[in-house]
Chains A and B, each alone.
Chain A
Amino acid sequence: MKASSGYAGVPRWVLAIAIIGALFVVLPLVAMVVRVNWGQLIPLITSKESTDALLLSLRTSGAATLLCIIVGVPMALVLARTRFPGQRIVRSLVLLPLVLPPVVGGIALLYTFGRQGLLKAPMDFLGIQIAFSTTAVILAQTFVALPFLVLSLEGALRTVGTRYEAIGATLGAGPTTVLRRITLPLVLPALVSGAVLSFARALGEFGATLTFAGSLQGVTRTLPLEIYLQRESDPDAAVALALVLVAVAILVVGLAHQASLGNAGGRQRLL
């Protein structure tokens, strides 16, 4: 370890524990990669079941991320910029899916949108059925992924503060103009990273999806579900698909990191 400029007083034992922690995260990934049947990799991941699951996962996660942005941005704005009685309770409730077991979330969704759920009457009236459909997958993913976006954006909004917004208002910009031309551009990096986190969480969603949407090939069987099923019948296929999921996750996080780095770099350069 090369010491950078300045005093960095990290004791050796801290370093040792940190290395153990890093190994704990990396080693399982290595173990999985070692188990990959490289000879059969291409046929395994290009099978009908696999591609169906992958494409479904990408589509539903994309849709869920979009939903998260559409409802999450207003939620973060209201939490960060307004004050109302019971706000702390509302914030805790909104963030609940972060700590809730996904299975519990799935059950809750089932009792809301299911055939015998809370919204049975209006849904029957409109003639829509959600449970065990692709829509249900998207709703389950949105439910678990939304807190990531809200949390990340709310923090950024608080950090940015309201001074630029106040200046914009005194320059004659109405609230919508201030939001569009000042607030959102200022928190764009946080919005991007929040969306990426949401996408990653949606991509990995398992429990709520299985409970609320079931496991129907091409309709609700996303990649994590496919991997879980294959693990019983064809471990090689499961490992191959797991590798795909890891690759997609790394790709997405990497791209987003690049995008936000490019953004920050652009600003850095200007200094």
Chain B
Amino acid sequence: MTFTFDARVARRDFDVSFTLEEGETVAVLGPNGAGKSTLLNLISGLLAADDGHAELEGASLFDTRAGTQHGSKPPHQRAVALLAQEALLFPHLSVLNNVAFGPRSAGARRQASHAAARRWLAEVDGSEFENRRPAQLSGGQAQRIAVARALAAEPRLLLLDEPMAALDMAVTPAIRRMLKRVLAGRTALIVTHDILDAYTLADRVLVIERGRVVEDGPTREVLERPRTAFAAGIAGLSILSGVRTPTGLRTDDGIELAVSTGAAAANATEWPAPDAGTAVIVAVRPSAVTVSNRPPAAAVNAIEGVITDLEQRGDLVRVRTDRLAADLTARRVAELDLTDGSRAWFSFDPGAAALYPATRPRAR
């Protein structure tokens, strides 16, 4: 276990504990105000925990059990580097001196720190900018340099706080590719809202809501079989919870749904079919849902819903209800005359849904 964390902050209703393995990159997902920033600030030492402890590679970062503040290391002694949404390059230093800042602070001489800085600049494809001032860089270039600066400090743990949120959409893929390269084999925590970031960069996902860890598991597991509304939302799935029946499940509000463990549920083969009566969840992709104004023919899963939201997504419209969502063409939306508050029937094929236990088996 390379990093263990367990802390509470009463005034932010924050109570989180988890561990990281050596070289593991974990994505932290969660709605705004869930406590992601609090988590990063606690780890980097910019915020003090009321109660708890954290260790990184055997060294204590803070430990309230040892007495008030007694065991809390200041940020500069923690070997935890923070990469924020904005690059925050020091405006008065050249790119090279920005990257050399960490090595210099660690006591390296000018020459050695510049050599290290050039190495890391090459790593992020930023060598050509070494003599520029931060104000001469574009957002994407600045964020590359910020990554090099963070890595040059040789942190044992790297924290990334939505590193691509402030960037131009056009440069995001290149930055993501670069991050994938430099994060390989590195112990890191990346806060993100982007499912692609989670899939590309993270081995594991933590979902934080209201200051608690509500989901923790391998990336694919969490995003393909979400247990919480937030994870389902970010994965673009609709989920319904209920109990297992021989043919599928009965939802919490008593609707019988049929789910076949056919080809579409191929992933379910990893899991034994849940026993009848156990709490289960069914996940349905909006593209697999059809909508009609009248109850559809029998034998198909159909739920009546009140439309809460219509969102234009390219040539499709995502129609949301409090239970299921559906992706429809604009023409179909017009034909059905769907608006906020109107009622419609949402149906899906038994083979198009995934069924899995409501509690995730502990992987570790």
A residues near B (Cβ < 8 Å) are: 163-164, 166-175, 177-178, 181-182, 185-186, 188, 267, 270-271
Contacts and interface: CB of A to CB of B under 8 A. Distances in A.
B90 A182 contact: yes
Contacts of B102: 171-172
B101 interface: yes
Contacts of A163: 84, 88
26 contacts: A163-B88, A164-B88, A166-B44, A166-B82, A168-B90, A168-B101, A168-B105, A169-B45, A171-B76, A171-B101, A171-B102, A171-B150, A172-B76, A172-B79, A173-B76, A174-B76, A174-B105, A177-B76, A181-B90, A186-B90, A186-B91, A188-B92, A267-B91, A267-B135, A270-B133, A271-B135
B153 A171 contact: yes
Contacts of B101: 168, 171, 173, 181
Contacts of A166: 44, 46, 75, 82
A247 B101 CA distance: 44
Given A166-B46, A186-B92, A172 B82 contact: no
Interface of B: 44-46, 74-82, 84, 88, 90-93, 101-102, 104-106, 132-133, 135-136, 149-150, 153, 155
Given A163-B88, A182-B90, A185-B92, A170 B44 contact: yes
Q: Is the interface of A mostly helix, strand, loop or mixed?
A: helix
A167 B82 contact: yes
A164 B84 CA distance: 11
* Residue picked from B90, B136, B149, most chain A C-beta under 10 Å: B90
A170 B135 contact: no
Given A172-B105, A267-B135, 5 more contacts: A167-B88, A170-B80, A171-B149, A172-B106, A172-B153
Contacts of A174: 74, 76, 105
A169 B81 CA distance: 9
Nearest to A186: B92
Contacts of B133: 267, 270
B82 A270 contact: no
Contacts of B149: 171
A90 B338 CA distance: 64
Contact of B105 (A173, A185, A270): A173
B105 A177 contact: yes
Contacts of A168: 90, 101, 105
A172 B75 CA distance: 7
A67 B108 CA distance: 34
Nearest to B46: A166
B62 to A, nearest CB: 15
Contact of A164 (B44, B82, B90): B90
Nearest to A185: B92
A171 B81 CA distance: 6
A171 B146 CA distance: 11
Contacts of A186: 90-92
Contacts of A167: 82, 84, 88
A271 B133 CA distance: 9
A170 B75 CA distance: 5
Contacts of B77: 172
Nearest to B92: A185
A168 B81 CA distance: 9
A185 to B, nearest CB: 4
B105 A170 contact: no
A171 B104 CA distance: 10
Interface centre among A169, A170, A267 (most CB of B within 10 A): A170
A266 to B, nearest CB: 9
A166 B211 CA distance: 23
Nearest to A166: B46
B48 to A, nearest CB: 14
Contacts of B76: 169-175, 177-178
The 6 closest A-B CB pairs, nearest first, are A173-B105, A169-B75, A185-B92, A171-B102, A172-B105, A270-B135
Contacts of A181: 90, 101, 104
B135 A171 contact: no
A185 B79 CA distance: 25
A178 B46 CA distance: 14
B44 to A, nearest CB: 5
B98 to A, nearest CB: 10
Nearest to B133: A270
Contact of A170 (B82, B91, B93): B82
Nearest to A266: B133
Nearest to A181: B101
A176 to B, nearest CB: 10
Nearest to B146: A167
Among B45, B77, B92, B150, chain A packs the most CB atoms within 10 A around the CB of B92
A257 B75 CA distance: 38
A84 B88 CA distance: 29
Contacts of A185: 90, 92-93
A159 B121 CA distance: 30
A173 B90 CA distance: 13
Nearest to B132: A270
Contacts of B93: 185
Nearest to B88: A167
